[in-house]
Amino acid sequence: VLNLDKCIGCHTCSITCKNVWTSREGMEYAWFNNVESKPGIG
């Protein structure tokens, strides 16, 4: 969970997360999906 109020759009969090979670054999093709929710909409 990230505080998006502090996000500057550098994608360092995405790169780090992918490096940590895809470094094991068989995880080379893991993909990530950004999900945004808006107040009142979900």
Is the CB of residue 18 less than 8 Å from the CB of residue 30? yes
pLDDT of residue 41: 66
* 27: Cβ contacts below 8 Å, ≥ 6 apart: 21
pLDDT of residue 36: 76
How many domains does the chain contain in total?
A: 1
| pTM for the structure as a whole | 0.46
Q: pLDDT by residue (tens digit) across 8-27?
A: 889 888 888 878 777 777 66
State the residue range of the domain holding 23: 1-41
Q: How confident is the model at residue 31 (pLDDT cuts 50, 70, 90)?
A: low
pLDDT of residue 27: 66
Question: Coil, strand or helix: which one is 13?
Answer: helix
